[in-house]
C-alpha cells in the first residue's frame, strides 16, 4: 500500500449493538472495495476481522480489529469493534482512534441499548457519526420504522441520504437522495440505475421521497447562512451543495446521515462506499487535538507532517507467540522504525519497533506511518493509554476512560505450583485489557479476578488455558466476615505443666470488653507485681495470635479490648511461653461468655439506571437487605443515580441482574465502607457455611 498524507486518510470505527451487523458490514466493504477477494461469513469463521480462535468459536466479535482499503484516492482504515457490553473497553479504544463512527442498526430489531452506548461514546470524544441500517434483506426488516425510531431517539440531526423503495414488503430499489437517482441490484450486488419511484410502484412513495428530500435540504440549510437563504426562497440545492452541507454538518455534529445496506447480497454497499468518500471527514479536517505539555498546560497538536512526532497507544495485543503489539494513532509528524521516542506517561525513552499495517491478522511491514494514520508497532515497552513523542516536544494526550470491572470471582490454579504461571499470564492480559483487575483480597487471601461480566470472564479463562496453558478453578469469592463480642467478661487463664526439671506456669486474669477498633486494644492494670512487667508482651502476643481466629466460625476478631488485671507467677517455672499460653486459654474460655456475634461487610453502592427501572432496582435492593439512601438525576439524559448501602454478601450476582433488568444500560460502583452486625436469623447459616475447623 502506497503512502498517503493526512488529507487522504479516513479512520472509521464501526460500532453498534451486538448482532447489528458490524463485522458483516466490514466484510462487505472490504470485498466490494477489492481489498478482500472473498466475502467471508461469520457462520463459516472466515471473516477478516473476527480471526481469533475464541471469536471463530463463539461467532461474535470480542476484540477491536483493524483493516484497510483504498477508494477514490483515500486510504480508509476500518476499526471493527465488539457490540457485547462485556467488551465495552474494546469499543472505546476503536472510537478514540477514529475520525468518524458508523453506527450499525439492525433493520429487523431497530435501535437498542448498544446503539445508544456507541452514539454516546462517539459524542463524548467529539466524533462525527453516521447510522447504517443493516440486514434489509431480512423479511422482517422495516426501514421506515427504524428511521422513525432514530429520529425519535436521536433528534432532528438524523438525516436520511439513502432509502429503500419498498413494494409488497420487498425492496425494489434504493434511492440516493443526494444524487436523486434510484438503483436496482442484481444477485452479485451490482447496481443498475432505474426509474425513480412513482405512486404506481408504492402508494404515497413519491410523497415520502419528496418529504425526505425536504428533510435533507432543511438539515443542510442549517449549516450555512447562504444555504439557509436559498432554502428559504424555495430554490433547490445542487448536488455539490448537499454534499458539502452534509459534510460540514457532520463535522459540526449537527447532521447524522442515515444510509442502508444488506451486507449479505451487497445491495447499497457501493453507495455507502461513495458516502464514505464524499461525506466522512479525512484526518486533516479535524486537525487539532488538545494535549498537555511538559508543565501540564493545555497545548494544541496539529495534524501536520512538519510538526514533531506524537502518537497515542490506543490498544495493546499481548500475543504469546507473536509478542506485544501496540496499536498507534499518529497525531502529528511521522513515525519510523528504530526512532528514539519519549514515553511521556512513564518518562522512559523507547525505541520504535517494526511498524506494520494490518488487514485483520495479516501484517504488512511499513517504512513509516504519517500523522492521521493508524498502524501497529511490534515489541515496544509501551502500554494502552501511553503517549510517545519526539523528545524535542513532550506532550501527553488524554487517556481513554475505561469502565471499571464489577463482576468478581475467585480463581486458583488447578495444578500444584501453577500459581506463578497464572500470575505471569494474567499480567500479560492486564496489559491488553484495562477493564479487568487481578488482586489478592487482603481479608480472605483469595486471588480475585474482576471483569465486566460473565462472558468476559469465560473468554479470559479460555484464553489463559488455550494460549498460556493455564487451567483455573473459578469460584464465588468468600465474604470477609468478622467476629466481635457484645458484653464485658472477666476470666482466668491458667497454664500449669510439670514435666521433670523446670515446669511451666502462667496465670492471668483478663477483662474482655467491646470497643471500636479493627485491632486488638491491650491494656494492663496489674497492681503489686502479681504479673511481672517483663511478661506483659508475652500476654499481648498470645492474645494477638488468638484474635486471628474467632470462636464462632474462625473469622478474625475485631472490636475487642483486653485488660490484664491480675494473675500470679512462679519464680522458677514462669516463662514468656507460659504466659502467652495462659492468655490464649483466657481468650478461648472468655470470648464464648461475652456474647460473640458475627459482623458482615457493608458497601456503598452507586447505581445508574434508566428512569423507568428505578422502582425495579429499589425493589431488588430491598430483597438484598439494602438501604436506599437517596436518588439523584444523572448528567446522562434518562438515567437516575440510586445511592444505597448493601451487604457485600448480597452483591455477588448484582452485575448480571442489573444488566438483565436494564438491558445493559445500568452501571454501578461498589466500595466497602464498614462492618455491621449480621442479623441473628442469618448467623447459624453463615457459621455452618463458613466454619473453619
pTM: 0.89
DSSP notation for 237-280: PPHHHHHHHHHHHHHHTS-EEEEE--TTT-TTHHHHHHHHHHTS
Does 366 share its domain with 462? no
Does 310 share its domain with 414? no
Average pLDDT over residues 175-200: 85
Does 109 share its domain with 242? yes
Does residue 68 lie in a domain region? Answer: yes
Give the Cα separation of 115 and 130 in Å (integer): 11
Does 336 share its domain with 431? no
Read off the pLDDT of residues 220-274 as tens digits, 9 standing for 90 and up. 888 888 888 888 888 888 899 999 999 999 999 899 999 999 988 999 999 999 9
Query: Residue 103 above 70 pLDDT?
Result: yes
CATH code of 311's domain: 2.40.30.10
Q: Is residue 532 very low, low, confident or very high in pLDDT (cuts 50, 70, 90)?
A: confident
Does residue 1 lie in a domain region? Answer: no
Query: Residue 107 above 70 pLDDT?
Result: yes
Please state which of the ranges 324-338, 396-410, 567-581, 596-610 shows the lowest mean pLDDT. 567-581
Out of 432, 458, 475, a domain closes at 475
Give the Cα separation of 586 and 539 in Å (integer): 10
CATH code of 637's domain: 3.30.70.240
Does residue 653 lie in a domain region? Answer: yes
Does residue 646 lie in a domain region? Answer: yes
Does 351 share its domain with 298? yes
pLDDT-above-70 percentage for the chain: 97
pLDDT value of position 574: 81
Q: In whole angstroms, what separates CA 685 from the centre of its chain?
A: 36
Read off the pLDDT of residues 575-610 as tens digits, 9 standing for 90 and up. 889 999 999 999 999 999 999 999 999 999 999 999
Query: Residue 207 above 60 pLDDT?
Result: no
Strands 9-16 and 74-80 turn out to be: parallel
CATH code of 167's domain: 3.40.50.300
pLDDT value of position 286: 74
Query: Residue 203 above 60 pLDDT?
Result: no
Q: Is residue 390 very low, low, confident or very high in pLDDT (cuts 50, 70, 90)?
A: very high
pLDDT value of position 408: 92
Read off the pLDDT of residues 338-385 as tens digits, 9 standing for 90 and up. 999 999 999 999 999 899 999 999 999 999 999 999 999 998 999 999
Query: Residue 692 above 70 pLDDT?
Result: no
Does 160 share its domain with 216? yes
Does 611 share its domain with 576? no
Query: Residue 548 above 70 pLDDT?
Result: yes
pLDDT value of position 693: 52
Does residue 283 lie in a domain region? Answer: no
Let me know: does 81 contact 60? Beta carbons within 8 Å: no
Does 301 share its domain with 436? no
pLDDT value of position 201: 57
pLDDT value of position 170: 81
Hey, which bits of 41-141 come out as E strands? Answer: 65-71, 74-80, 100-106, 129-134
Hey, which bits of 248-381 come out as E strands? Answer: 256-260, 288-293, 298-302, 310-319, 323-332, 334-335, 340-343, 349-351, 355-359, 362-366, 369-370, 374-378
Does 536 share its domain with 645? no
Does 393 share its domain with 428? no
Residue 457 backbone phi and psi in degrees, to 5 = -65, -45
Residue 93 backbone phi and psi in degrees, to 5 = -60, -45
Structure-model confidence comparison of residues 312 and 224, the more confident one: 312
Give me the residues paired with residue 567 across strands: 508
Output b/e per residue, 322-359; b: 16+ Cβ within 10 A. Answer: eebbbbbbbbbbbbebebebbbbbeeeebebbebbbbb
Query: Residue 204 above 70 pLDDT?
Result: no
Hey, which bits of 482-617 come out as E strands? Answer: 482-485, 489-497, 504-514, 521-524, 560-568, 596-610
Does residue 33 lie in a domain region? Answer: yes
Sheet of 472-475, strand order: 437-440, 447-451, 407-413, 472-475
Does 63 share its domain with 178? yes
CATH code of 576's domain: 3.30.230.10
How many CA atoms, within 13 angstroms, populate the side-chain half-sphere of residue 492? 8
Does residue 138 lie in a domain region? Answer: yes
Does 123 share its domain with 247? yes
Report the chain's mean pLDDT, rounded to a whole number: 90
Structure-model confidence comparison of residues 648 and 166, the more confident one: 648
Out of 475, 501, 527, a domain closes at 475
CATH code of 446's domain: 3.30.70.870
- The CA-atom distances, in angstroms, between 28 and each of 115, 269, 554, 666 are 21, 7, 62, 33
pLDDT value of position 500: 61
Residue 28, helix vs strand vs coil: helix
- Domain range holding 605? 599-690
Does residue 402 lie in a domain region? Answer: no
Please state which of the ranges 132-146, 197-211, 506-520, 652-666 shows the lowest mean pLDDT. 197-211
Per the structure, how many domains does the chain have? Answer: 5
Out of 434, 458, 475, a domain closes at 475
Amino acid at each position: 500500500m502506497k503512502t498517503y498524507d493526512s488529507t487522504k486518510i479516513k479512520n472509521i470505527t464501526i460500532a453498534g449493538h451486538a448482532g447489528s451487523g458490524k463485522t458483516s458490514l466490514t466484510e462487505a466493504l472490504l470485498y466490494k472495495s477489492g481489498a478482500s477477494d472473498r466475502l467471508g461469513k461469520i457462520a463459516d469463521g472466515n471473516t477478516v476481522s473476527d480471526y481469533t480462535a475464541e471469536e471463530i468459536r463463539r461467532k461474535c466479535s470480542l476484540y477491536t480489529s483493524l483493516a484497510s482499503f483504498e477508494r477514490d484516492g483515500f486510504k480508509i482504515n476500518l476499526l471493527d469493534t465488539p457490540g457485547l457490553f462485556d467488551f465495552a473497553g474494546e469499543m472505546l479504544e476503536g472510537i478514540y482512534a477514529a475520525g468518524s463512527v458508523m453506527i450499525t442498526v439492525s433493520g429487523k430489531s431497530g435501535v437498542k441499548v448498544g446503539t445508544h452506548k456507541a452514539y454516546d461514546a462517539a459524542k463524548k470524544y467529539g466524533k462525527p457519526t453516521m447510522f447504517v441500517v443493516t440486514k434489509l434483506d431480512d423479511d422482517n426488516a422495516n426501514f421506515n420504522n427504524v428511521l422513525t425510531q432514530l429520529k425519535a431517539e436521536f433528534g432532528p440531526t438524523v438525516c436520511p441520504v439513502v432509502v429503500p423503495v419498498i413494494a409488497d414488503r420487498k425492496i425494489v430499489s434504493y434511492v440516493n437522495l443526494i444524487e436523486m437517482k434510484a438503483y436496482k441490484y442484481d444477485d452479485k450486488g451490482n447496481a443498475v440505475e432505474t426509474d425513480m419511484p412513482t405512486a404506481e410502484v408504492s402508494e404515497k412513495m413519491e410523497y415520502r421521497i419528496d418529504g425526505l428530500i425536504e428533510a435533507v435540504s432543511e438539515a443542510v440549510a442549517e449549516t450555512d447562512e447562504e444555504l439557509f437563504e436559498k432554502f428559504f426562497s424555495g430554490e433547490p440545492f445542487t448536488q455539490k451543495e448537499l454534499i458539502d452541507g452534509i459534510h460540514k454538518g457532520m463535522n459540526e455534529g449537527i447532521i447524522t446521515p442515515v444510509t442502508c445496506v444488506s451486507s449479505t447480497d451487497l445491495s447499497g454497499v457501493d453507495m455507502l462506499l461513495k458516502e464514505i468518500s464524499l461525506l466522512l471527514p479525512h484526518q486533516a479536517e479535524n486537525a487539532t487535538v488538545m494535549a498537555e505539555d511538559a508543565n501540564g498546560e493545555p497545548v494544541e497538536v496539529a495534524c501536520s507532517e512538519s510538526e514533531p512526532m506524537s502518537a497515542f497507544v490506543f490498544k495493546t495485543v499481548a500475543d504469546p507467540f507473536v509478542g506485544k503489539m501496540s496499536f498507534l494513532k499518529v497525531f502529528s509528524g511521522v513515525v519510523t522504525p528504530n526512532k528514539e521516542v519519549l514515553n511521556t506517561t512513564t518518562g522512559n525513552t523507547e525505541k520504535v519497533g517494526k511498524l506494520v499495517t494490518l488487514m485483520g491478522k495479516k501484517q504488512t511491514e511499513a517504512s513509516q506511518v504519517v500523522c492521521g494514520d493508524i498502524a501497529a508497532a511490534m515489541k515496544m515497552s509501551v502500554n494502552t493509554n501511553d503517549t510517545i513523542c519526539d523528545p524535542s516536544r513532550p506532550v501527553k494526550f488524554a487517556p481513554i476512560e475505561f469502565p471499571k470491572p464489577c463482576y468478581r470471582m475467585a480463581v486458583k490454579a488447578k495444578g500444584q505450583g501453577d500459581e506463578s504461571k497464572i500470575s505471569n499470564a494474567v499480567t500479560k492480559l492486564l496489559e491488553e485489557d484495562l477493564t479487568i483487575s487481578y488482586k489478592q483480597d487482603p481479608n480472605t487471601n483469595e486471588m480475585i479476578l474482576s471483569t465486566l461480566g460473565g462472558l468476559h470472564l469465560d473468554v479470559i479463562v479460555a484464553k489463559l488455558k488455550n494460549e498460556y496453558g493455564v487451567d483455573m478453578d473459578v469460584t464465588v469469592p468468600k465474604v470477609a466476615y468478622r467476629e466481635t463480642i457484645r458484653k464485658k467478661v472477666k476470666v482466668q487463664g491458667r497454664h500449669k505443666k510439670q514435666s521433670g526439671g523446670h515446669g511451666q506456669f502462667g496465670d492471668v486474669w483478663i477483662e474482655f470488653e467491646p470497643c471500636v477498633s479493627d485491632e486488638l486494644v491491650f491494656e494492663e492494670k496489674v497492681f503489686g507485681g502479681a504479673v511481672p512487667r517483663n511478661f506483659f508482651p508475652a500476654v499481648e502476643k498470645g492474645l494477638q495470635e488468638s484474635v486471628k481466629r474467632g470462636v464462632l466460625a474462625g473469622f478474625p476478631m475485631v472490636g475487642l479490648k483486653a485488660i490484664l488485671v491480675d494473675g500470679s507467677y512462679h519464680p522458677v517455672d514462669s516463662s514468656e511461653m507460659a504466659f502467652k499460653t495462659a492468655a490464649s486459654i483466657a481468650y478461648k474460655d472468655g470470648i464464648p461468655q461475652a456474647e460473640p456475634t458475627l459482623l458482615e461487610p457493608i458497601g456503598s453502592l452507586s447505581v445508574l439506571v434508566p428512569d423507568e427501572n428505578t422502582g425495579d432496582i429499589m425493589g431488588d435492593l430491598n430483597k438484598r437487605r439494602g438501604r436506599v439512601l437517596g436518588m439523584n438525576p444523572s448528567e446522562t439524559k434518562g438515567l437516575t443515580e440510586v445511592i444505597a448501602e448493601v451487604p457485600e454478601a448480597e452483591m455477588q450476582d448484582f452485575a448480571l441482574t442489573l444488566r438483565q433488568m436494564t438491558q445493559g444500560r445500568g452501571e454501578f460502583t461498589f466500595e466497602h465502607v464498614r462492618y455491621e452486625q449480621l442479623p441473628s436469623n442469618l448467623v447459624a447459616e453463615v457459621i455452618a457455611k463458613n466454619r473453619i475447623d
